[in-house]
Structure 1
Amino acid sequence: MKRWILILSLAVLAGCASEPADAPEPEEAPVEESTEETPAGDTPVEEEAPETDGSLTVGSSESVVEQLDVPWSMIRTDQGWLISERGGTIAVIDAEGNLDRQPVVLEEDVLEIGEGGLLGLALAEDFATSRQVYAYHTYGTPGDVRNRVVELTWDGEQFQETAVVLDDIPGAQFHNGGRLLLDGDALWVTTGDALVPDLAQDETSIAGKVLRVPLSGAGEPTDWIYSSGHRNPQGLTQVEDTLYASEHGASGHDEVNILEEGNNYGWPLIEADQERDGLETPWFEVGETSWAPSGIEADDRYVYMATLRGNRLVAIDRETKEVTPLVEDRGRIRDVWLGDGELYFITNNTDGRGNPSNEDDQLYRLTIE
């Protein structure tokens, strides 16, 4: 009997010793192609935005302009608005709300593919006299998708390419990034991982990065990498010295990050609250259900974020990170603009994933206090 017990004990010990000390982690789940798509059957909730019980009071939203065609980015001018439309036009809106859709003349045609097309816009600081605008757009062929940033000059009837700021940015059907933000003599540019996650960690590639591009053009594109480890950042805003960026997660876990130069924000090595030496966890993440965040704005109290799959415009408290829904009844929301106690936002219901009304897409105004 003692002999059988001894044999059994040795077998158990041998089995334990055969397991490696550091067992490999399970393989990562397949990367989704896009988190912008609203699940089948989901429809916007038809109800007024609530009035919060905190210090943020929200009014109802009212339409300013109708019949926008898959809008993506909005910028305010002294005379009204310029709104990019993904097919390659810019909607020029005057102070009375009149819409004039104008062509964009480029050396490389806009390639409208998947989520690609004419994306981010940024207004030159001297726009009133120079009439210059910066634009991010997809180009190339379905088999070789690229993105570029160009300077456009507006003559009142069309927008003409007058300079190339940056080209040959890796692109794909999804994950093109595309947000622009002017900062003095430099232009912030967000790029996606172009459906190749490892590019976000590749220091020789400008994909999956946030770039700070000098308008002088000095240096090489990889010199302009400000932060890395990004999957598909589509929102960017700056409050004093704090730079916020929103980006899509792989399956839920969309993020808002506070960007600092040289930091690596982890994709595809970590996400959500995972930790690893040398990698940054997000300032805010949405959890397991994707919101598909896009444009963001911020003031001294809140980060305001447009969501596509989430069908909401929300305010995130910068101290507590408490989320206040502001709009939930307009469908997919692509971009937001803040000024003078008002929020303006554009819907994105005509992009093939929403449930557009006959008036969509629209520019809305929302009063906040």
Structure 2
Amino acid sequence: LRTKVGFRCPDESILFDPKNSSIRIEDGPFIDEAFYGSEIASFRDALAAIGVSVDVRHGHELVARHLKSHKNRATISRIYTYLKECNWEPANKTSNWIWIPNKKKSGEWVSPLGCVLHDKDNLFSLQLHVLDKYYDKKLLDFFSHVFGVRNGPSAEDHCKLWSTWESSVDALSVADCSAFWQFIAKNWSKNMEKLLSACVKVPVCTDGTMVLSKKEDVFIPDDLLLKDLFDKLPNRSLFIWYPSSSLPSMSRAKLNNIYGSIGVQAISKAVGKNDSLTLENVSPTKAARGKVINVGMMKLVLAFLSDPALDISAEERHKIVSCLLDVTVLETSEPITVGYSVKLSSGAVLDVKATRKLRWERESSKLYMQKSKRAPGYKE
């Protein structure tokens, strides 16, 4: 029999009925009415007897078989709609069933495995085929149900994307970087930690530009003094970047846990301290703790730790404040000078030096302070 797609055996042909289908006669192996004349429909029973499919709704397997011969998105969308109405499902869902058009008025047939329905942050246009860019919303459920197309990029997709950025991108936009880490923070899990631990680079912001640096050369700024000192070094940033967000999942405490778990060091752990500079060889004297650690300070510290952005539980806050009761206060008549250094993956060593009236030694719970020079007759 002559059909719209060439000559076919009767059991490979369909009798077209425009009243019972949204499909068009040129969309599949429908008997060519222009060749046989409109009277062909009156031979319905005879055609059925030789194997022709005379019910358009039962010809979906034959239509699907010819789907990949088409290259027009409107035609293909119409066939998808027809297949959806017929509750058709393929024998092999991973075959190249999905047409992705391109700017050259052509396209390619791809596997559902490389597709997603949505990419709300527009990060994966080069890695995945995003179907809501090409097809009507009504067909997205069809792609999901029939072909198993995922709703959006997975954790594995994001980690592969980061790996691609590491090797091919010199700088990122703040929007892209924020969207990436928002997904990571929102969906953080042991599996994602395992996947992302393989990353080589992490984001830093240098002179307003978002760049990726080796994670061995980037640090979590858990010590404000050290951050201030190393931030003054010219032409580089040592500290991890944080996106601007009020979401609880994007708190600095949460991000610090994430960054730390994938291999970014805290600056307080990474620095070396030059003890020979401490106090410039002046011996300190022990002072009364109450001169510094008093009720007012306790309240200030508790208020600071209560900031929701820090995400610290009440129990942990009280534990931190309790540590202040074990502090030893030492006084010196001279300014306190300390040198710090950090070694980079290249072997280079960055040195900084600080002179302060106060110095907090976290590991030993000691607070060094320079004695105040009071005017004659001054009373506390």
Q: Tell me which interval the TM-score lies in, with the shorter structure as reference length.
A: under 0.3
Question: RCO (CA 8 Å, sep 6+): is it higher in 1 or 2?
Answer: 1
TM-score by length of 2: 0.19
Larger radius of gyration: 2
More strand by share: 1
More helix by share: 2
